Amino acid sequence: MILNTQLEYKGDLFPATIKAYKKDVDVLHFSTTNNVILQLTVLRDSVLRFRYTTVGKFENDFSYAIDENASRGYNHLEISDDDEKYIVTTSKLICFIYKSDLRKSIFDAIDKSLICEDEKGFHWEESYELGGDIVKMSKAAQNGESYFGLGDKPNHLNLKGKRFENWATDSYAYGKDTDPIYKAIPFYTALHDNKSYGIFFDNTFKTYFDFCHERRNVTSFWAQGGEMNYYFIYGPKMLDVVSNYTDLTGTPELPPLWALGYHQCKWSYYPESNVKEVTSKFRELNIPCDAIYLDIDYMEGFRCFTWNKDYFPDPKRMVKELADDGFKTVVIIDPGIKIDMDYDIFREGLEKDYFCKRADGPYMKGKVWPGECYFPDFTRPEVRKWWAGLFKELIEDIGVKGVWNDMNEPAVMDVPGKTFPNDVRHDYDGNPCSHRKAHNIYGMQMARATYHGLKKFNYPKRPFVITRSAYSGTQRYTSTWMGDNLASWEHLQIANIQAQRLAMSGFSFAGSDIGGFAEQPNGELFARWIQLGVFHPFCRTHSSGDHGDQEPWAFDDDITNIVRKFIEIRYQLLPYLYTAFHQYSQDNVPMLKSLVLFDQDDSQTHYRIDEFICGNQLLICPVNEPNAKGRRMYIPKGEWFNFWTNELVSGGKETWVDADLDSMPIFVKAGAIIPKYPIQQYVGEKTIDELTLDVYYKHGKEDSELYEDANDGFDYKKGRYSLRKFNLTGNDNKLVIRIHKRGKFFTSYNTFKLNLIGLPFKVKSIKIDNEYIDLKDVKFNGENSLVVSKEVTNIQIKG
Ligand code: GLC
C-alpha cells in the first residue's frame, strides 16, 4: 500500500508558479511553490546555463566537462518583469521565463525572432527504483529545423527524425545506425531560419535525445538521473555555436606535428622483427609514415606496463632504432589490471585501495584481455596521479612517444551490458556516486590521467594520447578514433560522417581505422579509404589482423602507388593541416566543416553528408562506391578550382566530377593560398629550405593563414610562433597579396615559392614591397612560379 499520496502518481511532474526571484550578480534564481528552483547563469551574451532542482536545494556544482579556464563575461544584462513573465536581456539574447509554469522562450535580441522555446519545458519523474529524478526537457521544434552534432553517432549527419542514447559502449563491428557506440557527447546544434543555436546537456548519466522522432514537432532530451543542467549557446552562425561549446568544454593544445603524419597500426605487430619488417618496408617503398603502434601483444600476458621479453627482448633499443628511422612508437594501455599477486602494479593498486568496488564492498571484477581484472577508479585524483606516474619507465626511459587508451568505456567481456554493473562505486572527485553517473566519464578520466603522465615524462616534448571512449571535454587531453569499424563501403561513408560529426561536437582530432578494423578490404576500398583518411585530422590504418594484411603494399602495385600518392599529398599539406589545428586550438574552429557549417544560409547544405571542407579552403568528397569513375557532388556556393586540373568551377550546384581510382574530388577555394612542404618520409626528415605557396587567383578578396612553430615543445606558448596572414585581392588585371606576420619564431627557410594558379591575364609587371622586379626572374608560362623572400609584405602582379 502506498501511504504517501504524492507518490501514487507515477508520471511526469511539473514546476508550479514562481513565488520568488533572486539575483546574485550573473546568477538568477526562480523558485516555484512546489520547491523547484531554476538557476539561470549568464555566462556570456550568447551563452546561458539553465539548472533545475526539484527539492529546493542544488547538489554540489561539479562538472568534468566544463573547462575552468573558459572565458566568461557579458556586455549587457538587464532583468525586468511584467504580469506574465520575467525578461532577461543580454546584447545577443532575450529570455522570457513564464511565472505560471517556469517555461522559457528565447529570442534573438537584435531582430526579436524566436530561436528556441520550451514545449513542456522542464519536467521530471521520480525514480522509484533508485531515488532521485528522471529529468526531462522538451522543446517545440521550429519550422524546418535541422539538428547536428552528438559525437560519434554512425547515422545521417542531420539528426532530425531520430532518437539517440548516450551510454559509452564497446561496439565491435557496429553498423550504420547502431546506437549507442563508444562516446557520449550530449551536445547538439540546431538550425532554422538561417540561425543556429546549440544545447549542451551536461549530465553524465545515460541521456537520451529525441529529434522530432516521438512527436513531429517536439525535440526533447532527458537523463536517468542527476540534474537537468544544460547550456544554451546562440550563434546565429553555427560555427560560433561550435566554437563557443568547444571553448566551454576545453580547447585542445597543439599536438606534435608528427602526430599529424601517417600512422600504421595492426592488432598486433610482434615480435620485434615483424615491427622492423613493417617500418623498413615503408622506407624501402618511400611511403611516408611517422608512427608505428604496438597493440596488446607487446605486453606480458596483457599486463599493462610490462613487456613480453620473448617478443621484445630490449624495448629501449628497439624504440631508439625506430626513432632513428623516423618512427615514433605508440603503445596500447587498457584500464583492466590483471588480478595477479606477482604483478607489482596489481599489488600496488590493491594495497593503496585504488580499484573500483561494488556497492557492498567487493572489488569490481571483470574479464578483459588479461583474464579477470580489477579496474582503477580514475575518478579519484590520487588514482589519476598514480596512473600518470606509471608511465615514467615507458616514456622517460624506453622512449615511447604516444599512448593508446582502449577498452575504456569501460568494456567488460562476457557480461550483459558489456560494462560494469550499475552499483559499482566511484569517487567522482569527492562526489561519491554509482556507475550510473560515472560510466560515461570513466574513459575520459583514464585518458586525462594518461595525458598527465605523458606530459610530465615526455616534457619538454608534447604528449600524444588517443582514446576510444570520451565525454564532452575529452578533446582537452587526447585524440580519438571511431573504434571497431568494418571493411565495407558503407563504413567508408560512416567514417566520413563520424569525423565531421565529431568535429562539430568540439572533437576535431579524430579519424577512423583506415580500411576497416574487422574483415578485409580489397585494394580498391583501401585506396578509396586512404583518400578520405588523409584529409582527417588523425590518419591511421588499423585492422584486427586476423583477416589479412592492411599495409599500403598489401594489395598490388597500383594500389601501393595510389596510397603513396595520397599520403604524400598529406605530407605536402602538413603546414596547411597544422595551421587548421592552430585555428582549432586557438579559436576553437573545427578542423573539418560539414557543408552546413561552411554555409548554413544555403539550404542545399542542410542534408549533404559526403562533401566537407578540410581546414578552411579545401573541399573534399570521397568516392564511396566500387568501380566508380567519378561521382556527383554538391559544390558549395562560390568559385572553386579543381585541385588536379586547375579548372575553375562555380558552386551552388550539383555536378559530376571525374575521379578514377588514382584520384578523388578535391577543390580549392578561389583566392586560397595553400602552404606546402616538400614530401618527407617523416616529419623532420628534411630541413625545409623553401616553402611553397599555391596561390589561387580570385576576382575579389580571400584571406588565408600560415601558422608555424618548432613543431613540438611548448615555446609557442611564449610567443615563439610565426603566424602569417595573407590578404589576397584580385581584379581583371591585377592580383595583390598583403602579408602580415606575428610572433617571434624564425622558420628554417628564407623564401617562399609562389605558384600562381588561374591568373586571367598575362603578367606585365611584378612589384614586391614597392620595387619592380625583373620578369626574367619569374618563370611564367610553364611553371608560373615566383620566388620571394619570406619577409615580403606586399606583392602586386599586374597584367
Ligand atoms: C579493441 C580495439 C582495437 C584493438 C583491440 C585489441 O577491439 O578497439 O583497436 O586493436 O581491442 O587491443
Q: Are 447 and 507 in contact (CB under 8 A)?
A: no
pLDDT at position 63 is: 98
- For the cut 50, the answer to whether the pLDDT of residue 2 exceeds it is no
Read off φ and ψ for residue 296, nearest 5 degrees.
Answer: -50, -25
Q: Which of 7-21, 406-420, 605-619, 713-727 has the lowest mean pLDDT?
A: 7-21
Q: What is the pLDDT of residues 448-482, one digit of tens each?
A: 999 999 999 999 999 999 999 999 999 999 999 99
Give the integer Cα–Cα distance in Å for 655 and 86. 51
Q: What is the pLDDT of residues 717-742, one digit of tens each?
A: 999 999 999 999 999 999 999 999 99
Q: How confident is the model at residue 782 (pLDDT cuts 50, 70, 90)?
A: low
Q: If you measure from the C-alpha of residue 268 to the centroid of ligand 1, how many angstroms do you get, rounded to a whole number? A: 9
Residues in CB range of 105: below 8 A, 6 or more apart: 95, 96, 98, 114, 116, 117, 118
Query: What residues are in contact with ligand 1 under a 6 Å CB criterion?
Result: 267, 295-296, 332, 406, 468, 483-484, 542
- For the cut 80, the answer to whether the pLDDT of residue 139 exceeds it is yes
Q: If you measure from the C-alpha of residue 172 to the centroid of ligand 1, how many angstroms do you get, rounded to a whole number? A: 9
Q: What is the pLDDT of residues 176-185, one digit of tens each?
A: 999 999 999 9
- Percent of the chain at pLDDT > 70 equals 98
- Percent of the chain at pLDDT > 90 equals 95
Q: If you measure from the C-alpha of residue 76 to the centroid of ligand 1, how many angstroms do you get, rounded to a whole number? A: 51
Q: If you measure from the C-alpha of residue 317 to the centroid of ligand 1, how many angstroms do you get, rounded to a whole number? A: 26
- For the cut 80, the answer to whether the pLDDT of residue 780 exceeds it is no
Stated as kind and residue range, the H or E segment containing 640 is strand 639-642
pLDDT at position 783 is: 66
- Gap between the terminal Cα atoms of the chain: 93
pLDDT at position 779 is: 65
**Of the residues 269, 368, 406, 540, which should be mutated to test ligand 1's pocket, given the most ligand atoms within 8 Å of the CB?**
406
Give the integer Cα–Cα distance in Å for 245 and 473. 9
Q: How confident is the model at residue 669 (pLDDT cuts 50, 70, 90)?
A: very high
Report the nearest-CA residue for atom 4 of ligand 1: 267
The CA–CA distances, whole Å, from 258 to 197, 284, 320, 324, 426 equal 35, 20, 16, 14, 37
Radius of gyration over every alpha carbon of the chain, rounded to an integer in angstroms: 27
Average pLDDT, whole number, for the chain? 96
User: Average pLDDT of 325-333?
Assistant: 98
**Of the residues 263, 267, 543, 544, which should be mutated to test ligand 1's pocket, given the most ligand atoms within 8 Å of the CB?**
267
Q: If we measure between CA atoms, which residue out of 133, 46, 61 comes closest to residue 95?
A: 46
Q: If we measure between CA atoms, which residue out of 4, 224, 35 comes closest to residue 129?
A: 224
pLDDT at position 546 is: 83
Give the integer Cα–Cα distance in Å for 425 and 427. 7
Report the nearest-CA residue for atom 3 of ligand 1: 484
User: Average pLDDT of 188-199?
Assistant: 98
Please report how the helices 272-284 and 315-324 are oriented relative to each other, as an axis angle in degrees rounded to 10: 0
Record the cell numbers describing residue 65, joined without a space. 566537462
The ligand 1 atom nearest the CA atom of 545:
10
Please report how the helices 523-533 and 557-572 are oriented relative to each other, as an axis angle in degrees rounded to 10: 0
Give the integer Cα–Cα distance in Å for 321 and 652. 52
Q: Centre a 10 Å sphere on the Cβ of residue 632 and count the other Cβ atoms it contains.
A: 11
Report the nearest-CA residue for atom 7 of ligand 1: 484
User: Average pLDDT of 639-646?
Assistant: 98
Q: Are 338 and 372 in contact (CB under 8 A)?
A: yes
3-class secondary structure, 167: coil
Q: If you measure from the C-alpha of residue 64 to the centroid of ligand 1, how many angstroms do you get, rounded to a whole number? A: 26
Q: If we measure between CA atoms, which residue out of 445, 478, 441, 480 comes closest to residue 462?
A: 478
pLDDT at position 777 is: 66
Q: If you measure from the C-alpha of residue 223 to the centroid of ligand 1, how many angstroms do you get, rounded to a whole number? A: 30
Q: If we measure between CA atoms, which residue out of 625, 602, 728, 594 comes closest to residue 671?
A: 728
- Give the pairing type, strands 133-140 and 218-223: antiparallel
Q: If you measure from the C-alpha of residue 156 to the centroid of ligand 1, how many angstroms do you get, rounded to a whole number? A: 25
Q: How confident is the model at residue 773 (pLDDT cuts 50, 70, 90)?
A: confident
Give the integer Cα–Cα distance in Å for 255 and 711. 8
User: Average pLDDT of 79-105?
Assistant: 98
Give the integer Cα–Cα distance in Å for 736 and 429. 56
604 DSSP assignment: G
Q: What is the pLDDT of residues 519-556, one digit of tens each?
A: 999 999 999 999 999 999 999 999 998 888 999 999 99
The ligand 1 atom nearest the CA atom of 296:
12
Phi-psi region of 216 (alpha: psi -120 to 50; beta: other; left: phi over 0): alpha
The ligand 1 atom nearest the CA atom of 484:
8
User: Average pLDDT of 82-97?
Assistant: 98
Residues in CB range of 603: below 8 A, 6 or more apart: none
Q: 3-state SS of the chain: helix, strand, coil percent to 5? A: 20, 35, 45
Q: If we measure between CA atoms, which residue out of 720, 719, 726, 721 comes closest to residue 705?
A: 726
Residues in CB range of 641: below 8 A, 6 or more apart: 647, 648, 649, 667, 668, 669, 670, 696, 757, 758
Give the integer Cα–Cα distance in Å for 258 and 559. 24
Q: Are 705 and 672 in contact (CB under 8 A)?
A: no
The ligand 1 atom nearest the CA atom of 513:
9
Residues in CB range of 396: below 8 A, 6 or more apart: 457, 458
Q: Centre a 10 Å sphere on the Cβ of residue 113 and count the other Cβ atoms it contains.
A: 12
325: exposed, middle or buried (Cβ count in 10 Å: 0-12, 13-18, 19+): middle
pLDDT at position 1 is: 45
Query: What does the DSSP assignment read for 369-429?
Result: TTEEEE-B-TTSHHHHHHHHHTTIIIIIII---EEEE-STTT--BTSGGGS--TT-EE-TT
User: Average pLDDT of 266-270?
Assistant: 98
Q: If you measure from the C-alpha of residue 513 to the centroid of ligand 1, how many angstroms do you get, rounded to a whole number? A: 10
Taking the CA atoms of 676, 679, 680 and 682 in sequence, report the sign of the dihedral they define: positive
The ligand 1 atom nearest the CA atom of 411:
1
Record the cell numbers describing residue 538, joined without a space. 588523425
Q: What is the pLDDT of residues 546-602, one digit of tens each?
A: 888 999 999 999 999 999 999 999 999 999 999 999 999 999 999 999 999 999 999
Give the integer Cα–Cα distance in Å for 744 and 723. 9
The ligand 1 atom nearest the CA atom of 332:
12
Residues in CB range of 768: below 8 A, 6 or more apart: 788, 792, 794, 795, 796
Residues in CB range of 651: below 8 A, 6 or more apart: 635, 636, 637, 638, 639, 640
**Of the residues 466, 484, 513, which should be mutated to test ligand 1's pocket, given the most ligand atoms within 8 Å of the CB?**
484
Model confidence, pTM: 0.97
Stated as kind and residue range, the H or E segment containing 441 is helix 435-458
Sheet containing 673-676, strands listed edge to edge, beginning at the edge strand earlier in sequence: 673-676, 690-696, 751-757, 785-789
Active site residues: 406, 409, 484
Q: What is the pLDDT of residues 375-386, one digit of tens each?
A: 999 999 999 999
129: exposed, middle or buried (Cβ count in 10 Å: 0-12, 13-18, 19+): exposed
**Of the residues 407, 412, 467, 540, which should be mutated to test ligand 1's pocket, given the most ligand atoms within 8 Å of the CB?**
407
